[in-house]
Structure 1
Amino acid sequence: MPRGRRGGRVSALEGGSEEEAPSAADAVPSVLWASRRLPGTAADQILLRGIFEIGRDSCDVVLSERALRWRPIQPESPTGDSKDGFLHKEECLELKDIFSVKLKRRYSVQQQRSGTLLGITLFICLKKEQNKLKDSTLDLINLSEDHCDVWFRQFKKILAGFSNRPKSLKILLNPQSHKKEAAQVYYEKVEPLLKISGIKTDVTITEYEGHALSLLKECELQGFDGVVCVGGDGFTSEVAHALLLRAQKNAGVETDSILTPVPARPPLGVIPAGSTNVLAHSLHGIPHVVTATLHIIMGHIQQVDVCTFSTTGKFLRFGFSAMFGFGGRALALAEKHRWMPPNQRKDFAIIKALAKLKPEDCEISFLPFNSSQDLEERRAQGFPKSGCDAQWQMIQGQFLNVSIMAIPCLCSVAPRGLAPNTRLNNGSMALIIARNTSRPEFIKHLKRYANVKNQFNFPFVETYTVEEVKVYPKSNSSRHNPEEEDGPRGRASGNSFPWNIDGDLMEVASEVHVRVHPRLINLYGGSMEEMNDSKVTCNCL
């Protein structure tokens, strides 16, 4: 198995041992946590109290059930006043933000194992702006072995109480993602943090397309708290699809025609290592490797909606989003030119698809989303959707693109998302239809996604919030022509229509039926609403 390069402060933490931690020079000054107040903490039971050096100050440190607090000790003058004429503000750190604790030691050349004890290092998950998380450290310096041992054991006991945090993970790594950087991303940025956290890992590097799917069908997962995939959108979708298929098999659900799928277990972690990283971006609010890793380490879980795709009553696959028409054709062209670099291939496919832009003659039926409490209660009691008040609607005509998305689909070219009004788990999908128009007008619509608003403010664009969608192509206009296209890697057929499902090409010969299933899979990630609402009052950030 390939090994990653380790550098800086994590190099000393071989195997996540408890004997050593980073040097004081690598620690983040404690002032970073100044002025973070905990509501209602006055009644917290005090567990320990002692003296540690933090930064350059000797501090009175108090460990309670919810937080660690400290205040510099100020010597009094003969008049009884503090040395500086004022009291330093108390600083605090919430215990839920700590993800590991190590004994801090200094090693000399002669010492191999037991170095000189310096104190304790706490590893912190620090919230930054724009949904970004960062790992940092806080050193509690005290040379007493007995004193540090008592505190170290108490910190370990506290961390063991966070039962939602994973202790063992199955890692699936796609070495072909993007610029073949997935292995480097994992071994240089992800693995060191997992080792610091003491999380055991089992890494499988996939060898071919569909390897993860076949592996997860038979792989024993009972010993793992979660599965983590390192790759792009297509690979992530493959792993999610495999976990959901596995859940149906374990529950005895017939996979030929899945109407009410059972949720997938265990949770899935998504490390962005692709070219667009739509799912990771939508999940974390930012396609940031360290942020994604820390959400996994901290055990942050989001329940996410998933769609089922079927045709003529036969189940095809699970997925989060789909595009038919321009989106499908562009992906088919990109797949055909896999020999190009990723960014160049994507740009080439879009330009060529725009050059050959033509509408698809089809009929679209959809069931509007009804979020009423009565409807939710009826569904919980097992009533079929056809028995609810909502009625199917139908539109037909010439369409340049049809998008069906159960998640916001954030990406670099669409900072608010391709479906900005959709959430991860509200039980609905966005149906976005671009009717036939001139090429310049359609390009204006595509470019508008880069702005923060008005993507759909065009007369030819229609948006709906739906629960189910059926797309019936009525002509052969969108079918692949083998003589003209040659097909992507042999998958094209003269009798198929190209669909873009989570960045993966799916070809279907007839109509496609899409259903959304609320909160069908658990993904490691924090709620963007909560992260956006969180505020840090420290002026030094």
Structure 2
Amino acid sequence: MAFTLTVNGKVDTDCNVTEQEIRTSTPGRKSKELIIQLDDVIGIETNESEFSTSTNQSKTTKPKCLCKVHYIKRKKTVWKQETLSVTGQAEECQRFISQLQPNFKKVYDTRPKRLLVLVNPISGGRYGQSNSKKIVPLFELAGIACDVKVSDRAKHFIEMVSEYDFTTVDGIVVFGGDGSFSEVLGSLLRVTHEKAGLDYNDMNGPLTSNSVPIGIIPSGTGNGISVAQYGNYDTVTAALHIIKGNTRKIPLMAEYCEDELVGYATVVSAYGLFADMMYETDQKRWMRRARYIVMPIYSIFFKTQRLFEAEITLTGSQLCKPDDEEGKTKEETISGEFSMVAFFPAKVFGMTEGEVLVLIFRRTPSSHFFRLMLNMMKSEVVREEDFPTLTIRQPNSVRVKVNPKDLGENDFLNYLLNIDGEIHTMKKADLTVKSIPDAVNVFSSLHLYPYPDSQHSVSTTESTSPTGACAADT
């Protein structure tokens, strides 16, 4: 149905409303058309008091807004809130709203109505509180009620999640960084398994996905999970993804030691250098945010690398063993001294779902670490022939069995594990990492994970060099 209205100050604007979209056409020599999909409408505000007092707005006075349509405007992966302000004849505007609201209600009915909002006030630069004050009103504008809870101590999120009745909400939103998200997710998955009568410590048992979707508003130092879910670190973009209510499943890495779950990782996990570095960074809290720049530079460029002896066993169908049957599960063992073993969900780099991307570092020059990190940040291809001390594999599971060295007062370093930026202590230096596809239900409207416009960042199969991914280790 067509209407003639004043939209954003442009008089005699033609408006059409259908079940899918709002279409406006501005008159003039350079006619401009705007199309808003109803699925991108955030909310509709009406000036009821003006409708009840006036049927026709005077041309001699500044017209009052009768209706505001808040919607999503996209620029690549960044989403922003825009507003369509409607003035003019109250009767015509009323007919426009009467046509628009029933169509939008069909969209609104599919979206979350109530969210549990968990705020970490000390994450990153202490942005959790300020971001929540900015974003929660946006949720409310979209007609979403928020049960806001602020953590006041370490591991408080674990208590909140374990005690909460999730039948009362349609999702969880975390204001924090990767560590906060992992803490909430780990607690939620444990609760989900217990309610299903499953043992989450059984690495060979089934894993059930969380029924309550999770979203994150990036407010921490490390916000890799936000990039995976929304394509960037923008807080408004994250909120708008959650408002739309679309969900998808992302992979997970479950990590075990001594028949006990250590934790779940969605971005990265590491034993060795990165775990040591994260521990030392956490000890320098007096440096505030600067520690996240200073300590990595110190650890990589100025500190002698700590090497550990380990036997690394990889299992999976993607391991390059030409004599084996295609698709058959294969096993490979790599032994020696290493500075770090890092694990990523392979799908993060556009690889096969259900596998772990394993980067195995021997004594590695600082320049190689720096160049490797730059390549991965830019989503550029990483090949073994470019990094002689690096071994790349793509198994379904990996076991790292360490022969601990006597480190004196630093002996605890033998048992540290970095999971999504948080330090965990293992009972024994014996770690098993398993990839679990489609394990986590998250709010996201992205269809690719997470680099829609880039090539694969790590090459494990195309190397032609003797030091390539399929070559034997020396």
Residue 313 of structure 2 corresponds to which residue in structure 1? Answer: 365
Partner SS state of residue 100, structure 1: strand
1:216–1:53 CA distance, 2 compared to 1 (3 A): same
Alignment partner of 1:238 is 2:183: yes
Q: 2:43 is aligned with what amino acid?
A: S
Where do 1:93-112 residues align within 5 Å?
Answer: 93-104=36-47
Residue 20 of structure 1 corresponds to which residue in structure 2? Answer: none
Residue 312 of structure 1 corresponds to which residue in structure 2? Answer: 258
1:454–1:533 CA distance, 2 compared to 1 (3 A): closer
Where do 1:121-270 residues align within 5 Å?
Answer: 121-129=68-76, 131-144=77-90, 146-162=91-107, 163-188=109-134, 190-258=135-203, 259-270=205-216
CA shift, 1:322, in A, is 0.6
Residue 323 of structure 1 corresponds to which residue in structure 2? Answer: 270
- Tell me how far apart the structure 2 counterparts of residues 49 and 118 of structure 1 sit (CA, whole Å): 20
Partner SS state of residue 130, structure 2: helix
- Tell me how far apart the structure 2 counterparts of residues 63 and 531 of structure 1 sit (CA, whole Å): 34
Q: Which moved more, 1:225-234 or 1:294-303?
A: 294-303
- Tell me how far apart the structure 2 counterparts of residues 317 and 473 of structure 1 sit (CA, whole Å): 19
Preserved CA contact (<8 Å) 1:363 1:396: yes
Preserved CA contact (<8 Å) 1:368 1:464: no
Structure 2: 5+ residue runs without aligned partners? 51-61, 320-326, 454-474
Q: Which moved more, 1:210-219 or 1:519-528?
A: 519-528
Residue 13 of structure 2 corresponds to which residue in structure 1? Answer: 59
Instruction: Among all aligned residue pairs of Structure 1 and Structure 2, give the percentage whose two residues are the same amino acid.
Output: 20
Q: 2:102 is aligned with what amino acid?
A: K
Where do 1:480-491 residues align within 5 Å?
Answer: 481=408, 483=409, 485=410
Residue 289 of structure 2 corresponds to which residue in structure 1? Answer: 342
Q: 1:262 is aligned with what amino acid?
A: T
Preserved CA contact (<8 Å) 2:177 2:222: yes
Residue 55 of structure 2 corresponds to which residue in structure 1? Answer: none
- Tell me how far apart the structure 2 counterparts of residues 531 and 357 of structure 1 sit (CA, whole Å): 32
CA shift, 1:217, in A, is 0.9
Partner SS state of residue 24, structure 2: strand
Residue 473 of structure 1 corresponds to which residue in structure 2? Answer: 402
Partner SS state of residue 208, structure 1: coil
How big is each residue's C-alpha offset from its partner over 1:451-474, in whole Å with a ceiling of 9 and x where there is no partner?
Answer: 552544211112122211111112
Preserved CA contact (<8 Å) 1:217 1:246: yes
1:219–1:405 CA distance, 2 compared to 1 (3 A): same
How big is each residue's C-alpha offset from its partner over 1:236-284, in whole Å with a ceiling of 9 and x where there is no partner?
Answer: 1101111111111111112332521101021001110011211112222
Q: How many residues align?
A: 427
- Tell me how far apart the structure 1 counterparts of residues 112 and 45 of structure 2 sit (CA, whole Å): 18
- Tell me how far apart the structure 2 counterparts of residues 446 and 532 of structure 1 sit (CA, whole Å): 16
Q: 1:525 is aligned with what amino acid?
A: S
Preserved CA contact (<8 Å) 2:231 2:450: no
Q: 1:330 is aligned with what amino acid?
A: M
- Tell me how far apart the structure 2 counterparts of residues 466 and 530 of structure 1 sit (CA, whole Å): 19
1:287–1:266 CA distance, 2 compared to 1 (3 A): same
472, 492, 498: which one pairs with 2:416?
A: 498
Residue 433 of structure 1 corresponds to which residue in structure 2? Answer: 360
Where do 1:36-115 residues align within 5 Å?
Answer: 48-55=1-8, 56-72=10-26, 88=31, 90-104=33-47
Question: How high is the TM-score relative to the length of structure 2?
Answer: 0.82
CA shift, 1:180, in A, is 1.5
Residue 515 of structure 1 corresponds to which residue in structure 2? Answer: 434
CA shift, 1:440, in A, is 4.5
458, 463, 468: which one pairs with 2:387?
A: 458
- Tell me how far apart the structure 1 counterparts of residues 197 and 343 of structure 2 sit (CA, whole Å): 29
CA shift, 1:531, in A, is 10
- Root mean square deviation, CA, Å: 2.8
1:121–1:442 CA distance, 2 compared to 1 (3 A): closer
- Tell me how far apart the structure 2 counterparts of residues 437 and 532 of structure 1 sit (CA, whole Å): 27
- Tell me how far apart the structure 2 counterparts of residues 532 and 90 of structure 1 sit (CA, whole Å): 31
CA shift, 1:93, in A, is 2.0
1:511–1:532 CA distance, 2 compared to 1 (3 A): closer
Partner SS state of residue 473, structure 1: strand
Partner SS state of residue 198, structure 1: coil
Q: Which moved more, 1:428-437 or 1:510-519?
A: 428-437
Question: How high is the TM-score relative to the length of structure 1?
Answer: 0.73
Residue 341 of structure 2 corresponds to which residue in structure 1? Answer: 402
